[in-house]
């Protein structure tokens, strides 16, 4: 009997991999770059699990040509990366000078991607606020000042790169900016009410102020782009929000409400779309008017009633004119998601909506395969549920714009347990990560074809193993293994599996960029540090583990063309195998 035809991805679907500037670039004091809030924070003892910083990371500022060549060898259609604000405007402010070397670097990088047929998908802000702005007026705690400086920074980027960049993300994961940076204090700038963790900060008020500022800055940047750049540059601009699927622990009404409340404090209320853990039938919510902090403010124009109930006058508000600006301030919904949580009532963690999370079902079984990080298990059914929820809830005309593609999946990935401690040959056979992507890609296709969800892109996290924020380099999310001592890149089994899957499911389009050239081998060969993804507190792109002590970085290896060619050929040979 003939096999059924392969269900294809939509025409013009973009796929590739994702990274962030601070996590891969290194060269923190090179070519005029200023400090970001992560530079000094990562060097404070105890702030990263292995005591290491982003000074070298994967050395991609120096090895960028090698990285583009590897992306081209993978055959990706797009690459999601972020710009470093402090590399472009070292002191960050609207009256501070622009760094021509920073502009030159990103211009060359964008041109090289396009020459190799790769669409740039650019994040303007991925957690790396210029340190000078934090010192000048407390950064994101000062809504009016930081908005003016952020909008000026985005203007510089639109003017410099917008003739070639047609896909913009304003802010990556505002929940992490606010909660992890100003509530829990585990991310830069590390403010918290916990005086053992931070000498200053107020976790009861600052996260909500920061979230409010981020939303407002985002909306003003979108307004700028739409009014002054979009008519000629013809691009799209939006935000990417983190959030994992929430399911009730069981059918008890209080746990059904708990799943709703968890989403209220992150994304939104899925109302009738949440499934019972014991049946494939929807559960109805008692408060289906409650919705999420960032998604409902940006797409629907209000903050969740449940959040207002919990926070009272600690929850900032916008004026009527500001709400009019915020509502509809995204051309699409960028979705970062990694796992699913079973939710119980009775928690006392305000940042989680006073909900307890677990992966253990009432019968004692685990929801899925355990990752290296405690907060992540493999559960593809939740990925499909979340795609359906977002697609159904937010696919509607909003203010002056209709969302043109509901859900680019801008991050999604898995950290294999103990991968950092494995011999290279074992780490490259990352079967648990392959299993994870087998599930999420099946859910992706089912959501598109069976459920009718409009999804236009998918960016697994991450292209490279890298500096994973508070986790340092102890957790690895990359589909490409990075040897932090030699800077060599080695494709893992997951990279090969994803590349094969996307080639089988791709629909050719006349909009596909045709490669114009191959990137020449660079004459310089710098070095990288050890990095990964782990944190107890992130629900998206960080990982938890008990890392071994990482070795002190050794002296820089040979930088001649011979060393460069050796590393590059090693990676390509591993890929072909």
What CATH number corresponds to the domain at position 298? Answer: 3.20.20.80
| Structure tokens that stand for 437 in this block | 């992507």
Residue of 145, 173, 206, 419 with catalytic role: 173
213 in a structural domain:
yes
Query: By the 8 A CB rule, do 209 and 141 touch?
Result: yes
558 is a domain residue: no
From first to last of its 577 residues, what are the pLDDT tens digits of the chain?
666 788 999 999 999 999 999 999 999 999 999 999 999 999 999 999 999 999 999 999 999 999 999 999 999 999 999 999 999 999 999 999 999 999 999 999 999 999 999 999 999 999 999 999 999 999 999 999 999 999 999 999 999 999 999 999 999 999 999 999 999 999 999 999 999 999 999 999 999 999 999 999 999 999 999 999 999 999 999 999 998 999 999 999 999 999 988 877 866 333 323 333 443 333 332 223 234 899 989 998 999 888 999 999 999 999 999 999 999 999 999 999 999 999 999 989 999 889 999 999 999 999 999 999 999 999 999 999 999 888 887 774 333 344 455 578 999 999 999 999 999 999 999 999 999 999 999 999 999 999 999 999 999 999 999 999 999 999 999 999 999 999 999 999 999 999 999 999 999 998 899 898 555 433 333 332 333 333 333 333 332 233 333 333 333 333 344 444 444 444 454 555 5
**Per-residue confidence (pLDDT) for residue 275, from 0 to 100:** 37
Structure tokens at 428: 């490259």
Q: Is residue 550 part of a domain?
A: no
Q: Is residue 555 part of a domain?
A: no
224-257 as b/e, with b when 16 or more CB fall inside 10 Å?
Answer: bbeeebbeebebbbbbbbbbbbbbbbeeeeebbb
Task: Give the whole-angstrom CA distance, residue 405 versus residue 171.
Answer: 18
| Nearest partner of 187 among 257, 152, 225, 139, judged by Cα | 139
Q: Is 104 a catalytic residue?
A: no
Residues in contact with 508: Cβ distance below 8 Å, sequence separation at least 6, in sequence order: none
Residues ≥6 apart with Cβ < 8 Å to 138: none
Catalytic residue selected from 206, 350, 411, 419: 411
Residue 333: its H or E element: strand 333-336
Peptide bond just before 210 cis, omega within 30 deg: no
At 169, list the tokens.
Answer: 């993300």
Beta bridge partners of 409: 335, 458
Integer CA distances (angstroms), 428 to 59, 373, 418, 455, 475, in order: 21, 19, 13, 30, 14
Tokens of 24: 């891969």
Q: How far is CA 381 from CA 214, 368, 438, 569, in A?
A: 31, 10, 12, 39
pLDDT, residue 572, reads 52
Contact 436, 416 (CB under 8 A): no
Structural domains of the chain, count = 1
Residue 171: which of 114, 106, 133, 216 has the closest Cα? 216
Q: Quick check: 412 and 460 in contact, CB under 8 A?
A: yes
Would residue 4 count as lying in a domain? no
Q: Determine contact, residues 37/136, Cβ cutoff 8 Å.
A: no
Please, what is the Cα angle at 515 between 511 and 516, to 5 degrees?
Answer: 120
CB within 8 Å of 1: residues ≥ 6 apart: none
Decide if 559 is inside a domain: no
* Residues of the domain holding 110: 14-276+285-505
**Contact residues for 448 (Cβ-Cβ < 8 A; gap 6+):** 7, 9, 10, 454, 455
- Domain membership of residue 317 (yes or no) is yes
240, 297, 246, 294: which is closest to 266 by C-alpha? 294
512 occurs within a structural domain: no
Residue with tokens 């210029």: 130
* Positive or negative torsion for Cα 182, 82, 462, 437: positive
d(CA 133, CA 88): 14
Active site residue 173: yes
């Amino acid at each position: 009997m003939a096999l059924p035809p392969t269900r294809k991805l939509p025409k013009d679907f973009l796929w590739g991999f994702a990274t962030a500037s601070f996590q891969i670039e290194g060269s923190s004091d090179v070519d005029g770059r200023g400090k970001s809030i992560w530079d000094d924070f990562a060097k404070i003892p105890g702030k990263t699990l292995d005591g290491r910083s982003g000074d070298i990371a994967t050395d991609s500022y120096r090895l960028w040509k090698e990285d583009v060549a590897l992306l081209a060898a993978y055959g990706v259609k797009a690459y999601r990366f972020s710009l470093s604000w402090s590399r472009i405007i070292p002191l960050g402010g609207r009256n501070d000078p622009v760094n021509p070397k920073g502009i030159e670097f990103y211009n060359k990088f964008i041109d090289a991607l396009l020459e190799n047929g790769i669409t740039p998908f650019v994040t303007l802000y991925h957690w790396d606020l210029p340190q000078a702005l934090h010192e000048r007026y407390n950064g994101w705690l000062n809504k009016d000042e930081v908005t003016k400086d952020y909008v000026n920074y985005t203007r510089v980027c639109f003017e410099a790169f917008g003739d070639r960049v047609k896909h913009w993300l304003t802010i990556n994961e505002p929940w992490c900016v606010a909660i992890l940076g100003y509530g829990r204090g585990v991310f830069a700038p590390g403010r918290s009410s916990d005086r053992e963790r931070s000498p200053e900060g107020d976790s009861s008020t600052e996260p909500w102020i920061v979230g409010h500022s981020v939303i407002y800055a985002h909306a003003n940047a979108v307004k700028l782009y739409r009014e002054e750049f979009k008519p000629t540059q013809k691009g799209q601009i939006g935000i990417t929000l983190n959030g994992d699927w929430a399911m009730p622990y069981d059918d008890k009404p209080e746990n059904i409400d708990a799943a709703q409340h968890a989403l209220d404090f992150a994304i939104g209320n899925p109302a009738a779309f949440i499934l019972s853990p014991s049946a494939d039938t929807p559960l109805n919510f008692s408060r289906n008017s409650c919705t999420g902090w960032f998604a409902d403010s940006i797409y629907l124009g209000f903050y969740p009633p449940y959040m207002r109930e919990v926070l009272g006058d600690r929850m900032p508000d916008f004026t009527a004119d500001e709400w009019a600006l915020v509502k509809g301030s995204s051309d699409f919904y960028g979705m970062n998601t990694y796992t699913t949580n079973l939710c119980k009532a009775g928690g006392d963690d305000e940042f989680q909506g006073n909900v307890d999370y677990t992966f253990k079902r009432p019968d004692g079984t685990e929801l899925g395969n355990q990752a290296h990080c405690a907060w992540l298990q493999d559960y593809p059914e939740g990925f499909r549920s979340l795609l359906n929820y977002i697609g159904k809830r937010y696919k509607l005309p909003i203010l002056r714009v209709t969302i043109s593609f509901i859900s680019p999946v801008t991050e999604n990935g898995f950290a294999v347990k103990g991968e950092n401690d494995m011999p290279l040959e074992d780490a490259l056979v990352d079967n648990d990560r392959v299993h994870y992507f087998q599930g999420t890609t099946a859910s992706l296709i089912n959501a598109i074809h069976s459920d009718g969800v409009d999804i236009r892109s998918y960016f697994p996290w991450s292209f490279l193993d890298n500096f994973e924020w508070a986790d340092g380099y102890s957790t690895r999310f990359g589909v490409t293994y990075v040897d932090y001592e030699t800077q060599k890149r080695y494709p893992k089994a997951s990279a090969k599996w994803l590349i094969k899957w996307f080639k089988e499911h791709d629909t050719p389009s006349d909009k596909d960029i045709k490669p114009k050239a191959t990137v020449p081998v660079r004459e310089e060969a710098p070095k990288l540090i050890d990095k990964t993804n782990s944190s107890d507190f992130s629900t998206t792109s960080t990982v938890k583990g008990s890392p071994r002590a990482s070795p002190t970085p050794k002296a820089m290896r040979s930088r001649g063309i011979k060393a460069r060619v050796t590393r590059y050929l090693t990676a390509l040979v591993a890929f072909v195998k």
